[in-house]
Amino acid sequence: MPTCATDYIDQVLPNRVPSFRHNAAQIEYAASIADCFEHGLGSIHCVEGSTGLGKSLGYLLSAADWIAGARGHRRRVVVATYTRALQRQLVAPGNVELINGFQRYNGRGPLRIATRMGRRNYVSPTRLALALDAETLADVVDDPNRPPSTRGLAHWALTSEGCLLDLDENELPDGIRLGDISIGHEEPLPEVLKQTFADARDADILVINQSLLVMDLLRGGVADLDDAESDVALIVDEAEHFPDVAEEAMSYGLSFNNVMRVARNLGYKTNAERWSALFHHKRDPKLADQAMLISDRDRDEILDALVSIKHTPVPDPDLSANHAAWAIIRSSARMIEQEMRAGRKNLVLSYSPVQGHPRLVCAREDAGAMIRNDLDQRITIFTSATLSDMSGSANDPAFRYLLSRIRINQSDARLGVLRRHEAKKFGQLRFSVPTAPCVPLIRDDEGFALNPLYARFAVNQILAGSPGRTLVLCCSYRDVDSLLEHWPNRARSRAVTHPRGADLNEIAHGMNDDNVLLTPAGWEGLSPSRSGETFWKRVVLLRNPAQSIDPAHLLMTMMAFQVRGLSRVESEAKANRTVHAQMRTKSVHRVRQGIGRALRHPADSAEIVILDPRFRSEAGESIGQLKGLAAAIPQRFRRVFLDVVRPSDALKALPL
């Protein structure tokens, strides 16, 4: 009789793989995933497993069991992830060998596991150069008058595969979005993408990214697995990110500045003048990082400008980068014109965070609900280390944040398994929460930067710890640059940095015992190979990883409440509460993921150094009162945390 996934993890793997550590929570997690598969097509599930317990192996082995149990229909599994690190981990040779070792043990053939990436996830060098107002990216790299962050971005695009999943949109220059620099539908498909598409067609387990999942759902399928002879299960890992990915993928817009620039480059004088006038009329630094509805007066002027784009010659994208960019502009202009003529209320003017550059945005604040497309044709499993609301007990898990974002009512009959699995005994953590002398951030010409006084304080704390490999989790590459500016020469050899898109696990594996890795890319998915001992002796959280609130999303949320009958004042207040609550939940999720970098094996022991003063002011006086960022502390370590930090009136008064 075949051995099921849970028995294999419990009884076989500890004897077959020397580095494998028995973990009761992993076995319980794998059993919950198996229960999800038992519910059959049309069901949707939420299963959280705390970081480090081995979720990917748990769900992949359970998926292998489900695939092997096919009767009449072939079964295929799609795993949609958010981070590149997890995609690499799932298809790594060692991981694939574990899965197929399970297959061999049960007398079954190997499973074909492949990845597939979409064109929207890769940078277009030509579009990026245009967005940076340069002929080529090499010109940007060689321009000493450009900010280091912009030159670094261009260098990354020239020297790496250019996966946009390796970028944080907040790192882009003011007024530029990821969608502005991705490979457009009119551009040639790189050979590497053609090959991955071919490999994906016959995969039993297909690993994709969440933005590609969104595109497939829009087309009415999942990863193009539209074979009527196959039953499909969809596992959305790192699932708390899916609603935001869907909103980004389904929203589109036009940067006034970009239209003006490309029109001028192509010699479209009328369009260049019209959009230049619009740009200079609507640009307003006082409205930076805000959004507003389009007034009737602006509507007519913008509509005329959109029509003027439509009257330009149909461009040949192969002629030049400007022609390729204009093809995308024409397509966006056509869609926005249709939305405006239909009188829809999802169009807003959004202003860039620093200089107030205007942008037309067609927002989709309810995009997460698209996961319901063709829901009855598959099993859908949401999972993550930070899927729940970080409140309530494991016996009564709360997934309100995710379910509200995907527009699923908690009483929906299609909901099946709703469970949390947190290890009771897994690793040891110590905490250090030094008192910061100032607030972490100040505003400058490029947005926000580390306060120099805070940067010096942070460097001193990073280097003052006990010897051992240290991970410093930053929020941007600007943070890294600021720390290096204050890094003493005597310790220069200890600092390890990396370019965007680098394989962090490979970099970490090559570090010396006293090295310090400074990175904004290690909050999730960083799990370097090891020889049995604790890998990270210290993990330093530089500051709150909260992202800025998208003003268009805030405005659309307010409009949604108005549609439901609330007054403008009530809608504005409720939208602010809702969106800020969403941001807090995201921050707590990311902090929990960051802490989890220290907990990859049951025997791990590390110090967590928290520099942001907000942790102190939100710690509360008891385990039950942890709130804000402090709620990210895993339940089993909260008493240890509270023994180190207590709220103080002085810190509560600190302006944050």
The residue with greater pLDDT, 237 or 422, is 237
In the predicted model, is pLDDT for residue 648 greater than 90? Answer: no
Cα Dmax for the chain: 76
Q: Which residues fall within 8 angstroms of residue 585, CB to CB, at 6 or more apart? A: 240, 389, 390, 401
In the predicted model, is pLDDT for residue 463 greater than 80? Answer: yes
DSSP string, 27-69: HHHHHHHHHHHHT-TT-EEEEEE-TTS-HHHHHHHHHHHHHHT
pLDDT score at 645 = 77
Length, in residues, of the chain: 656
In the predicted model, is pLDDT for residue 381 greater than 50? Answer: yes
- Stretch 108-127: mean pLDDT, rounded? 86
pLDDT score at 71 = 80
* Weakest-pLDDT range from 96-100, 167-171, 511-515: 167-171
- Stretch 391-418: mean pLDDT, rounded? 81
Catalogue the long-range contacts made by 298-307 (C-beta closer than 8 Å, 24 or more residues apart). 298/349, 299/340, 302/278, 302/340, 302/360, 303/337, 303/340, 303/341, 304/274, 305/271, 305/274, 305/275, 305/278, 306/333, 306/336, 306/337, 306/340, 307/337
- pTM here is 0.73
CA atoms within 13 A on the CB side of 507: 21
- Stretch 110-127: mean pLDDT, rounded? 85
For 585-640, the pLDDT digits (tens) are: 888 888 988 999 998 887 889 999 999 887 766 665 555 567 777 888 888 888 88
pLDDT score at 364 = 76
Q: How far apart are CA 56 and CA 22, in angstroms?
A: 15
pLDDT band at 177 (very low <50, low <70, confident <90, very high): confident
Decide: 450 and 612 in contact? Cβ < 8 Å: no
In the predicted model, is pLDDT for residue 655 greater than 70? Answer: no
In the predicted model, is pLDDT for residue 539 greater than 90? Answer: yes
Calculate what percentage of the chain has a pLDDT beyond 90. Answer: 39
pLDDT band at 43 (very low <50, low <70, confident <90, very high): very high
Q: How far apart are CA 363 and CA 342, in angstroms?
A: 15
pLDDT band at 193 (very low <50, low <70, confident <90, very high): low
CA atoms within 13 A on the CB side of 466: 10
Taking Cα atoms as reference points, which of 537, 525, 538, 544 lies closest to residue 630? Answer: 544
Q: How many CB atoms lie within 10 A of CB 293?
A: 13
pLDDT score at 229 = 63
Q: The tokens of 90 are what?
A: 């799932």
Q: Identify the three-state secondary structure at position 92.
A: coil
Beta strand pairing call for 44-49 and 205-209: unpaired
Fold of 428-652: Rossmann fold (3.40.50)
* Weakest-pLDDT range from 259-273, 281-295, 378-392, 637-651: 637-651
Torsion angle defined by CA atoms of residues 101, 503, 470 and 476, in that order, rounded to the nearest 10 degrees: -140
* CA angle (141, 523, 243) in 5-degree steps: 95
Q: Identify the three-state secondary structure at position 595.
A: helix
Q: How far apart are CA 440 and CA 474, in angstroms?
A: 12
- DSSP single-letter state for residue 9: I
For 321-333, the pLDDT digits (tens) are: 788 889 889 988 9
Averaged pLDDT of the chain:
85
In the predicted model, is pLDDT for residue 654 greater than 50? Answer: no
- Stretch 396-413: mean pLDDT, rounded? 86
Catalogue the long-range contacts made by 34-38 (C-beta closer than 8 Å, 24 or more residues apart). 34/4, 34/5, 34/6, 34/62, 34/65, 34/66, 35/416, 35/417, 36/379, 36/381, 36/416, 36/417, 37/62, 37/63, 37/65, 37/66, 37/233, 37/379
Fold of 5-81+90-110+204-209+230-239+368-421: Rossmann fold (3.40.50)
In the predicted model, is pLDDT for residue 201 greater than 60? Answer: yes
In the predicted model, is pLDDT for residue 26 greater than 70? Answer: yes
In the predicted model, is pLDDT for residue 651 greater than 50? Answer: no
CA atoms within 13 A on the CB side of 514: 9
- Stretch 577-587: mean pLDDT, rounded? 84
pLDDT score at 379 = 96
Q: Identify the three-state secondary structure at position 643.
A: helix
Taking Cα atoms as reference points, which of 205, 204, 184 lies closest to residue 325? Answer: 184
Q: How far apart are CA 16 and CA 351, in angstroms?
A: 58
Tokens 């997690």 belong to: 29
Q: Where are the alpha helices (DSSP H) in 122-268?
A: 125-131, 137-141, 148-159, 191-200, 210-218, 242-250, 256-266
pLDDT score at 619 = 61
pLDDT band at 223 (very low <50, low <70, confident <90, very high): low
* Weakest-pLDDT range from 198-202, 460-464, 588-592: 198-202
In the predicted model, is pLDDT for residue 116 greater than 70? Answer: yes
For 240-254, the pLDDT digits (tens) are: 989 988 988 787 789
Taking Cα atoms as reference points, which of 646, 618, 640 lies closest to residue 631? Answer: 618
pLDDT score at 33 = 97
- CA distances (Å), 159 to each of 123, 125, 501, in order? 12, 11, 10
